[in-house]
Structure 1
Amino acid sequence: MREIPYIVSTEWLDNHLDDPHVRVLDATTYLKHPEKDGYYELWSGKEAYDKEHIPGAVFADLYEELSDPQSEFAFTLPSREEFVKKMSDFGVGEGTYVVIYDREAVVGAPVVASHWATRLAWQLRYEGFNNVAVLDGGFPKWVEEGRPVTAEPGSYPKGNFIGERESTLFSTKEDVLKAIDDENTVIIDSLTEEHFHGEVNTYGRLGHIPNSVNVFFGSHSDPITRELYNEEQLRKNFEESGALDPNKKVIVYCGSAIAATWNATLLNKLGQHHVSVYDGSLTEWASDPSLPMETK
């Protein structure tokens, strides 16, 4: 049972910083697109964390430590053993609840979405830890409001991580291939319209997975206030895709299964719980010429 919502406000977190059961994780990672076509540049947010972060927060390195270093694709899930050990070291476990934040979605782009935070939140739920939330507006909103920051590294007592892996939250390319012709499954492409329609080539092949629908991950928050839009607007963003139908399953993907987790989390927030993430996403899919893509 969840004890906290999927998304919490900066005010909520500020009021709970001294709670001995809270664990704050900084999941900042940086992604920068090239000016034209080509794969994006990625790097860890550890340096930014070292300069300043929310008091008590520990740094969770998605890029360097919480992905499989042996995989040819960025951000492939690590082994359960490695992930559970790392989370336990961060103090995450029985009797705790976790709030995750990040700094920005895409370097140099006016996109507001805490998708690095939801990536880690999804990994936690996949491994059986459900009491996790994401900070609405992230670190930028926290700082804009004049809330406290520090350069002092955070730490928590070692956690007792329990729970079992929830396999329904994870999709493989084989699952997606089957879902293309399954009228009971909605496939959501979380990238921009330009990527969806094949006007930008990031992954080596243009376009999207056949029968997928485009719901841009950056359309859910106010770019000025950095807050999520109200539930009515969020529902409107997803309604046309059919993803809110409680009788259907939803598979979300993007480039490296980062932005997709933002859409997945918001669908969960809106009451759609039959949502899985295609972890390989287009980085894997487009690299396999036997798998179909279309630009229509």
Structure 2
Amino acid sequence: MAVTFPSGPLVSAAWLAQHHAHVIILDCSVARAVDGSGQTVFSSGRDLFTQQHIPGAQFADLFDGFSDPDGDFLFTAPSAQRLSSALHNVGVNQQSLIVAYDRLNGAYAARIWYLLTALYGWSNVRVLDGGLAAWQRLPQPLESGAARPVARGTVRLGAARPALVSTERVAEERQRPLVCALRYESFQQAHIPGSISLPYPALLNEDGLVDTHRVAAALHTARISPPEQLLLYCGGGINAAGLALALVAAGYPLDALLLYDDSLSGWLSDASRPVASGAGR
């Protein structure tokens, strides 16, 4: 059966239910907990995957092959070699169609979507709109245990495009708007001076689906119009990828969306850098 992805970066749970046997499904879940001091702690979502996942899904570990575990900050982008190896392990070939999902708000799945599409020009990647919750609402079955064995993939990624920017480049930025994807409450506490607040979670409807009308309204309020090139960031490069996903779903050109990979984790690592609070622009 020949399968063609719908246009745009998202697929619905109904589409995936019809075509799941013909795509590689990646569970990009990350576990979150609160430590004794009240801080949120992130870790691999492999145990969550083992408890339940979409049938046939492979686990895409954002603490292993799909990030650089030796990076200075969580979720640092991996090298092309490391990412290629991770894709091999989940059976990805050059012609594979990939659907990524998570069990939060889609931002972790969007992170892998952004890495593959913006950095390496991979056009056969989509994100499940609404994630695992949308799949369950249909309702559709789940399975537990380890991922099913798959043949090792053969895909090869080339040189990365300049879609990720460094702290030094952000510090020197004078032209492109800096857009923060964090929740507004977090933005008010700390952001890079001159930033615009465009919270990714506010662009989702009550069911956790990307709402393109909300995206359009938010862009209008922020006085942003495509194809203006934007520099997106958040706390650690995750919600920023979600924001890129939502913007592209609403028609914004992907090549106009750069991502500050270290985001506030990198910016705040040097106490000499200026930090703003309050409403921002």
| Same fold flag (TM > 0.5) | yes
Would the aligned equivalents of 1:26 and 1:101 in 2 still touch at CA under 8 Å? yes
CA RMSD in angstroms comes to 2.1
Gap regions ≥5 residues in structure 2: none
User: What are the residue-to-residue correspondences of 1:22-37 with 2, within 5 Å?
Assistant: 22-32=23-33
Who is 1:140 aligned against? 133
Say if 2:237 is the partner of 1:257: yes
User: What are the residue-to-residue correspondences of 1:118-157 with 2, within 5 Å?
Assistant: 118-125=110-117, 126-152=119-145, 153-157=147-151
Which residue type is aligned with residue 159 of structure 1? G
The verdict on how the C-alpha distance between 1:128 and 1:39 changes in structure 2, with shifts beyond 3 A counting, is: farther
User: What are the residue-to-residue correspondences of 1:139-178 with 2, within 5 Å?
Assistant: 139-152=132-145, 153-178=147-172
- Judge which range, 209-218 or 60-69, deviates more: 60-69
User: What are the residue-to-residue correspondences of 1:173-252 with 2, within 5 Å?
Assistant: 173-179=167-173, 181-182=174-175, 185-198=176-189, 207-223=190-206, 225-229=207-211, 231-246=212-227, 248-252=228-232
TM-score by length of 2: 0.88
Q: Deviations over 1:222-275 (max 9, x none)?
A: 22x33222x3222112222244331x2111101110011000111122232200
Would the aligned equivalents of 1:128 and 1:162 in 2 still touch at CA under 8 Å? no
More helix by share: 2
Q: Tell me the number of residue pairs that the alignment of Structure 1 and Structure 2 aligns.
A: 270
State, as a whole percentage, how many aligned pairs show the same letter: 28
Q: Deviations over 1:28-72 (max 9, x none)?
A: 002346798x75301111111112211110001102442222222
Gap regions ≥5 residues in structure 1: 105-112, 199-206
Would the aligned equivalents of 1:28 and 1:101 in 2 still touch at CA under 8 Å? yes
Q: What is the DSSP-based 3-state SS (H/G/I as helix, E as strand, rest coil) of the residue aligned with 1:99? A: strand
Would the aligned equivalents of 1:186 and 1:242 in 2 still touch at CA under 8 Å? no
Who is 1:283 aligned against? 265
Say if 2:91 is the partner of 1:100: no
Would the aligned equivalents of 1:244 and 1:267 in 2 still touch at CA under 8 Å? no
1:211 Cα offset (Å): 1.2
